[in-house]
Amino acid sequence: MKRYLILLFTAATLTSCSDLLVEAPQAIDAGAFYNTPAEVEAGLNAIYTPTRGSGVMGALYECQQEIYAEYLYGRGSHAPLNDYNGLDNTNITRTGDMWGAFYQAIRNANIVIQKTPAGTQLTDLQKQQYVAEARFMRALSYFFLVRNFAGVPIRTENNMDSLNVIRATQAEVYDFMITDLLSAEQNLPDNPRLLGAPSKLVAKTVLADVYMNVYQYDKARDKALEVINAGKFSLVKVAVANDFDKIFGAEANGTPEEIFYVKYSRTPASQGFQYPQYCHYPGTAYYKPGGFYTFYSDSVQNPMLRNWDKADLRYRFNWYSQTFGLGNTTVLLKKFSDPVTTTAGGNDYPMYRYADVLLFYAESVAQAAGAPNADAMEKLNMVHRRAYGKDPLIADPTVDFNLADYAGKQAFIDLVMKERGYETVGEAKRWFDLKRLGIAQQAIKAAKGKDMTQRHLLWPIPVSETNYNKYIDPVKDQNPGY
């Protein structure tokens, strides 16, 4: 039982209603709130709530991102995502709801940032760390917004009550986020206040990812290396395919590989992870409540799966055969399974884990220097060895890649992207990699035979913003094609 989760995501009141987590900090007068640690922590917990639900990180966000990747195909109302011509009305509504959730999280963070410094029963250190956590979470929300919508309005503790805020450029959003993350890195504690909250090393990890997205690979390399050299994290060892449940299963919690996960729990049902329901077919042993099998793949027709070495334990762990009228080579994603639950999944969403950092570092070394080095290859091989049941820290000539075979920058980056694709399948990370490297259209054409339009690379600014924000022109400020 993940009892920490109830502590992390319930307010200072004795209720578990998620609506109160969102609204209470806004409704209570600042003179009577944000004065004690319990009160400020209730406000901090409210930052996490808006994006945890099934409409965002709990399910639909992963569905959107994964179906875009070259290895999955959407069904039902998600099928239009595979047209690669932007979003239809149903999916525009979904992404608009995600926009609202991220901005609600930003607003809740802004309140903590604004009110905490005046807290009457807080030490200076508590104020510093609480504000740092709020700034980290604010930056994280903007990171998801900017990668999907490009430039967005920057709402801070100083203008959060203003409807009318101009659409900042993408570069301005990244600059704002980096400032928040650098402050968080300096002021967060070495250990999070609760499992599921950020620490200094979490801030460094996100900074590495952000720097990669603004092509400052030297800084990304250095931040990733700081996380590696801290010695706090390690890859979970596996011997057989099912051992990957030690990382992704419903009982996995606080493993050495976990850096920053969105935490869920089977009970109460409102705290559960709904994503497994979208992955599985009804009646399988992997998710008893049933499933929507929202997406699928083909072990023969899809080139990524066809070319995936079947001795790789990740292949056997991630996929299972399931026919439902599309042929006997149809497979579904098994990565997030909970065979015990009768309500909702107990799995956590692995936003950042140690394997991510090792691969961030490997790529960034090559990107920054124009070529890989032995250390970059070693970090890549650590992930690769584990995939074959080997000890990640012991060289193994039977599975290791040789630097001489991938000495050129592009050959090595292609290898890292191949490995990262296998490693993070199902985790809503692949699409961002394809976009960042400028190879999304090429990858989709090669795997699915579809000609992607530029319109598909971004989500539209929602009408909830263009209808009420007078500083956003619904034509000039809209993303291309919408």
Give residue 269's pLDDT: 82
Give residue 361's pLDDT: 99
- Does residue 341 form part of some domain? no
- Measured CA to CA, the distance from residue 116 to residue 46 in angstroms comes to 14
**Residue 163 and residue 60 share a domain:** yes
List the one residue out of 184, 204, 193 whose CA is nearest residue 138: 184
- Measured CA to CA, the distance from residue 168 to residue 154 in angstroms comes to 6
Give residue 29's pLDDT: 55
Alpha helices in 53-169 (DSSP H): 60-68, 89-115, 124-149
CATH of the domain at 412: 1.25.40.900
- Measured CA to CA, the distance from residue 165 to residue 408 in angstroms comes to 46
**Residue 52 and residue 148 share a domain:** yes
**Residue 307 and residue 247 share a domain:** no
Enclosing H/E stretch for 186 = helix 170-187
- Does residue 24 form part of some domain? yes
CATH of the domain at 101: 1.25.40.890
**Residue 117 and residue 226 share a domain:** no
- Does residue 343 form part of some domain? no
**Residue 177 and residue 164 share a domain:** yes
Amino acid code (one letter) for 446: A
> Roughly what angle, to the nearest 10 degrees, separates helices 200-213 and 217-229?
160
**Residue 468 and residue 436 share a domain:** no
**Residue 254 and residue 274 share a domain:** no
The DSSP code for 85 is S
**Residue 424 and residue 370 share a domain:** yes
- CA angle at 71 for the pair 407 and 423, rounded to the nearest 5°: 50
Query: Helix or strand or coil: residue 361?
Result: helix
Listed in sequence order, the residues at least 6 apart from 334 whose beta carbon sits closer than 8 Å to its beta carbon are 279, 280, 286, 317, 318, 319, 320
pLDDT tens profile 267-301: 888 899 999 999 999 999 999 999 999 999 999 99
295 neighbors 75 (Cβ within 8 angstroms): yes
- Does residue 340 form part of some domain? no
Listed in sequence order, the residues at least 6 apart from 293 whose beta carbon sits closer than 8 Å to its beta carbon are 75, 278, 279, 280, 281, 282, 322, 324, 332
**Residue 436 and residue 369 share a domain:** yes
- Measured CA to CA, the distance from residue 380 to residue 393 in angstroms comes to 11
Amino acid code (one letter) for 323: T
Give residue 9's pLDDT: 45
Instruction: Enumerate the β-bridge partners of residue 321.
Output: 331
How many CB atoms neighbour CB 309 within 10 A?
11
pTM: 0.94
**Residue 239 and residue 365 share a domain:** yes
- Does residue 98 form part of some domain? yes
164 neighbors 471 (Cβ within 8 angstroms): yes
How many CB atoms neighbour CB 195 within 10 A?
17
Domain coverage including residue 276:
269-333
Token pair for residue 3?
A: 């009892």
Number of domains in the chain: 3
- Measured CA to CA, the distance from residue 176 to residue 146 in angstroms comes to 11
Token pair for residue 202?
A: 């979490």
**Residue 114 and residue 48 share a domain:** yes
Q: How many residues does the chain have?
A: 482
Listed in sequence order, the residues at least 6 apart from 246 whose beta carbon sits closer than 8 Å to its beta carbon are 236, 238, 252, 255
2 neighbors 253 (Cβ within 8 angstroms): yes
**Residue 46 and residue 25 share a domain:** yes
Residue 88 CA: distances (Å) to CA of 81, 117, 310: 8, 45, 36
Listed in sequence order, the residues at least 6 apart from 61 whose beta carbon sits closer than 8 Å to its beta carbon are 51, 98, 144, 428
List the one residue out of 329, 321, 335 whose CA is nearest residue 62: 335
- Does residue 196 form part of some domain? no
List the one residue out of 143, 38, 151, 47 whose CA is nearest residue 104: 47
- Does residue 195 form part of some domain? no
Give residue 270's pLDDT: 87
53 neighbors 21 (Cβ within 8 angstroms): no
User: DSSP for 286-321?
Assistant: TBTT-----EEEETTTSHHHHTS-TTSHHHHHHEEE
Enclosing H/E stretch for 352 = strand 349-353
The burial of 178, by beta-carbon neighbours within 10 Å (0-12 exposed, 13-18 middle, 19 or more buried), is given as: middle
- Does residue 203 form part of some domain? no
List the one residue out of 257, 235, 278, 240 whose CA is nearest residue 394: 235
What backbone phi and psi angles, to 5 degrees, belong to 307? -90, -5
Give residue 15's pLDDT: 31
- Measured CA to CA, the distance from residue 289 to residue 344 in angstroms comes to 8
pLDDT in tens, the chain (482 residues): 453 434 444 433 323 333 322 333 344 454 578 999 999 999 999 999 999 999 999 999 999 999 999 999 999 999 999 999 999 999 999 999 999 999 999 999 999 999 999 999 999 999 999 999 999 999 999 999 999 999 999 999 999 999 999 999 999 999 999 999 999 999 999 999 999 999 999 999 999 999 999 999 999 999 999 999 999 999 999 999 999 999 999 999 999 999 999 999 998 888 999 999 999 999 999 999 999 999 999 999 999 999 999 999 999 999 999 999 999 999 999 999 999 999 899 999 999 999 999 999 999 999 999 999 999 999 999 999 999 999 999 999 999 999 999 999 999 999 999 999 999 999 999 999 999 999 999 999 999 999 999 999 999 999 999 999 999 999 999 999 99
